Chains A and B, each alone.
Chain A
Amino acid sequence: MINLTPLFPELLFIGFTLFYFVLGLWIKKRVVHSLLVIAFSVLTLLTLFQVQGEAFKGMFVADSFSQTLKLVFLINLGICSLLGMNYSQIKYELFYEFNLLLMLSTLGMMFMVSSKELLSVFLSLEFMSLCLYLLAGFVVTDPKANEASLKYYLLGSMFSALLILGISIFYSIFEGTTFKIIAENLLLISQHPFYLFTGIILILSAFTFKAGLAPFHQWSPDVYEGAPTPVTAFMSVGPKVAAIGVMASFLTEALSQKPELWVGPLIFVALLTAAIGNVLALRQVNLKRLLAYSSIAHAGYLLLAVIACSTSGLKTISFYALVYTFMNLGAFATLISFPQGERINAFLGLSQANLFLAVSMLVFLFSLTGLPPFGGFVAKFFIFKSIIESGYTWVAVISILFSILSAYYYLRVGVKMFFYEGEISLPSTPLSLRLILVFTLSFTIILGIFPFLP
């Protein structure tokens, strides 16, 4: 008899999804849809930390790292469903499909971070991505959204092929695909190390693509800009965190004995990502696109924690992911509550029109910059701490210098909101959006003053 207890949250969530799949067809009101999704996520959340252990002979593991990331995915799901409710371009009758795709994609991510076996990683990754391809093109009438969807789908399929190629190379070397087998046989292999290196590079480049890291990041600004804003918010958190999470557990569990094979390329990728994300964000005039580039830069910082390659490194990643969820979704929520458009210049004088909206945006931006007393600062602090602990002080120095650039482009938005006069007449913010803002705002601040790791 297989012990299924570690899977309980996932099984419960599958149950909820199926329930919603059938029942959702008869629900008319948008609010009920969103409330149901939130209720499902909260109920799953409650069971999340109750179970721990492994199933399927160690192919599925629920440890504190994967649990924290699942927490991130479920928060992401709840908030993005509410965001979708307030987004006028998502058709009324399609909201059911929207929620369902969000849930299915979240399910894929949950399995992804718990898989300790390459083929299950591949399957859950595909499961997640297929839903995302659909979501990216969800507004059918918008040519930009169609372009985004197609671009994402074509490139995504190519990188999936690379991933499966990498996995088959691994199988031919180790005659197995679980992380455990790979780790046990890593030092014994007879093949040329170049062969293994090729496999590693192929697998890592697929993860790199999914996480939107340089040099495979080009799709993400276009897709982020084209996709409907709630979907962009969803994509900027969930899949990114999932891909980096699985990368971290793959590298630290399967390949930890040969760090010389992957630490170098990883540092290169992380620094390149931080550089590209921050430099290209400088000239953006569209706030959504700016947030896309900034999320590329943040993925770079997250990746830096992977090179620490220790338990403190994993904790750092989960904390950063948690804080990032709140501040980034908060920024997107502000963007959605602002119907005047996505251009930065549209924000002129927002502080006079709606002080609450402007102040919360400012807090999210400062947190993204990494200024205390907000969560973003503590998260960045942990990252640099774990890098320095593992002896790569120079990497910390270079990446922190890039964060100076980020101060400039985040400040630019703040300047537009606070220092200019403008004539904005805002409709009052809907209650649900205000709730999201209060929720994300309070956690951005609380995690900054009393950082704790679940």
Chain B
Amino acid sequence: MGELGFPTLSFLIFFPLLGAALIFLVKKESLAKFIALGTTLLNLVFGIPLWTNFDKTNPQFQFVETFWWIPFLNAYYKVGIDGISLLFVMLTLLISVLCVLCSWTAIKQRVKEFYALLLMMETIMLGVFCALDMFLFYVFWEAMLIPMFLLIGIWGSHNRIYASVKFVIFTFAGSVLMLIGIIVLYYAGGKTFDVIELSKVQLPVNLQYWLFLAFFVAFAVKVPMFPFHTWLPDAHTEAPTAGSVILAGILLKVGAYGFLRFTIPFCPEATLGLKEMMQIISVIAIIYGALVTLMQTDFKRLIAYSSISHMGFVTLGIFTLNKEAIEGAILQMINHGIVTGALFMCIGVIYERTHTRDLGKYGGLGKVVPIFVFFYTLFSAAAIGFPGTNSFIGEFLIALGVFKDWIFLGAFLPMGFVLGTAYMVWLYYRVVLKEVPAEIKDQLYDLNLREVLMFIPLVVLVFMIGFYPQVFLGVLKDSVIQIINFLT
């Protein structure tokens, strides 16, 4: 049972499934989106006690629930959260509501299935962040593929089939080796899947390297890190807006979360041994990602490629392995979820009006749709890492950690910042400034109340983290120290 005398986490995890079932039970198709909105909103409200009752001074896992599951396998249904998972759980709850809102008018066919899959996706994502049993974790991790495959494949744009199959094959190929890793870990760690027990086990260094490799492939594909990133632009570009928001907001974080939760505690020596290599790969991702982003002419693809660069900062922070950098990396994951999610929503909103993503056909939006441009400007600034916005704090902390750790590598970071500014500003110029092309001028109209409402929570978060990050860093602090303690 959780601390609240009620299986809080399990309820949160499985409540969306009830909503999904309800969608199929109710005959009327037009009610589906209202049910989905109600379910996600309620779930967000249910999540509030989690935030208020979370004990920041306690570095252990909280709200832990354990049930017997598969006795002869010694696998439990065990969920619980620490400061890191708490942030991701809250992010997932919020993003899910926004996903329903941003699909409100965009999804016109097979509406019931769409919202049911969105709700299933919420269950699975929450499960991934709460699971404290490797077997349970793997079940959620792999189950994620199924709804995502369908979301991209059915409601995506014209090249959707290629993108969805590529997405599944890449992630499946990455994660099967993790399965072997989990089984090897099970025997090496005394026949248990319990994450807390396993992280206490001191494994032989040789085995640690193999395990690191097995987990690395799975997580690196999800993040995605540099050589494994090719599925991302296709999947992000072809997915419907809600799919892109989920991908950018949550799915990419799962990989980085895996590094923090599993790789570092299970294989500390291997992590220290491979640290420099990981850092170098991350810096390559930052610079390479930014350069490729500069080349893009497709609005959505551009933002998709920018994710590679942004996630490079995250993995760089994680593998710098000191307190500032890891805190920065986690904060940056949240920031990227908020900002890139918001940018995809911006694209979704504007695509619904113009039906084109070709940047050559855009321009001068500032004169036609000022409210839209107001939000878009804010989020662009946040993506650049403008002081006062959330990304500034995250990137600053990462840079601080890197300079403390390896000043030579730190010298490459300004290049990443400059390139990041360059592509966002150039994009801004192409979309907002210039003259309005005639063919899109008539189609454009400004945001309605629903669209404004879905941007507002994100704007609040951007500035809240930007001006007072302590709210989030305070939650994180002890959990991060806990992770660093594994390394010594």
Contacts and interface: CB of A to CB of B under 8 A. Distances in A.
From B138, B165, B177, name the one whose CB has the most chain A CB atoms within 10 angstroms. B165
B409 interface: no
Contact of A384 (B143, B160, B161, B183): B183
A451 B177 CA distance: 22
A414 B161 CA distance: 11
B176 A404 contact: yes
Interface stretch (A174-182, A227-235, A385-393): A385-393
Given A408-B165, A415-B165, A372 B138 contact: yes
A404 B174 CA distance: 9
Interface stretch (B146-154, B196-204, B364-372): B146-154
Nearest to A359: B113
A153 interface: no
B142 interface: yes
B150 A385 contact: no
B139 A393 contact: no
B161 A419 contact: yes
A268 interface: no
Contacts of B164: 415, 419
Contacts of A384: 179-180, 183
B168 interface: yes
B180 A388 contact: yes
B176 A401 contact: yes
A397 B183 contact: no
Nearest to A412: B165
A418 B146 contact: no
Contacts of A389: 187
B374 interface: no
Given A371-B143, A372-B142, A419-B161, A404 B149 contact: no
B438 interface: no
Nearest to A408: B169
A73 B350 CA distance: 59
Nearest to B156: A419
A419 B176 contact: no
Contacts of B140: 372
A366 B143 CA distance: 10
B70 interface: yes
Interface string A390-422: 000100110011011001100110110011000
Nearest to B191: A389
B447 interface: no
B72 interface: yes
B169 A393 contact: no
A419 B238 CA distance: 13
A133 interface: no
From B70, B143, B149, B180, name the one whose CB has the most chain A CB atoms within 10 angstroms. B180
A385 B74 CA distance: 13
Interface string A357-394: 00000000010010111000100010011001100010
Contacts of A404: 169, 172-173, 176
Contacts of A450: 69-70
A181 B227 CA distance: 58
A interface secondary structure, majority:
helix
A415 B145 contact: no
B139 A400 contact: no
Contacts of A453: 72
A415 B173 contact: no
B351 interface: no
A418 B165 CA distance: 12
Nearest to B142: A372
B139 A372 contact: yes
B192 to A, nearest CB: 13
Interface in B120-145: 135, 138-140, 142-143, 145
A407 B142 contact: no
Contacts of B169: 404, 407-408, 411
A300 to B, nearest CB: 16
Contacts of A377: 139, 142
Contacts of B168: 407, 411
A366 B149 CA distance: 11
Contacts of B135: 381
Contacts of B113: 355
A400 B176 contact: yes
Contacts of B72: 453
A366 B176 contact: no
B180 A397 contact: yes
A385 B140 CA distance: 19
A237 B113 CA distance: 33
B472 interface: no
A100 B461 CA distance: 71
A369 B146 CA distance: 12
Interface in A62-83: none
B217 to A, nearest CB: 11
A419 B153 contact: yes
A209 B296 CA distance: 56
B228 interface: no
B245 to A, nearest CB: 21
Interface string B66-94: 00011011000000000000000000000
B186 A373 contact: no
Given A400-B176, A403-B176, A453-B72, A393 B143 contact: no
B184 interface: yes
Given A419-B153, A419-B161, A371 B180 contact: no
Interface string A425-454: 000000000000000000000000011010
Contacts of A401: 176
A385 B70 contact: no
A144 B90 CA distance: 60
A230 B146 CA distance: 29
Contacts of A355: 113
Contacts of B161: 415, 419
Contact of A371 (B146, B150, B160, B177): B146
A185 B143 CA distance: 50
Contacts of A373: 139, 143
A415 B154 CA distance: 9
Question: Which 8 pairs across A and B sit closest by C-beta, in order of nearness?
Answer: A372-B139, A419-B153, A404-B173, A400-B176, A407-B172, A372-B142, A388-B183, A419-B161
27 contacts: A371-B143, A372-B139, A377-B139, A377-B142, A381-B183, A384-B179, A384-B180, A384-B183, A385-B73, A388-B183, A389-B187, A393-B180, A396-B180, A396-B183, A397-B177, A397-B180, A400-B176, A400-B179, A404-B169, A404-B173, A407-B168, A407-B173, A414-B149, A418-B153, A419-B160, A450-B70, A453-B72
Interface of B: 69-70, 72-73, 113, 135, 138-140, 142-143, 145-146, 149-150, 153-154, 160-161, 164-165, 168-169, 172-173, 176-177, 179-180, 183-184, 186-187
Given A372-B140, A372-B142, A450-B70, 16 more contacts: A369-B172, A381-B135, A385-B73, A388-B183, A396-B180, A397-B177, A400-B180, A407-B168, A408-B165, A408-B169, A411-B165, A411-B169, A412-B165, A415-B161, A419-B154, A451-B70
Interface of A: 355, 366, 369, 371-373, 377, 381, 384-385, 388-389, 393, 396-397, 400-401, 403-404, 407-408, 411-412, 414-415, 418-419, 450-451, 453
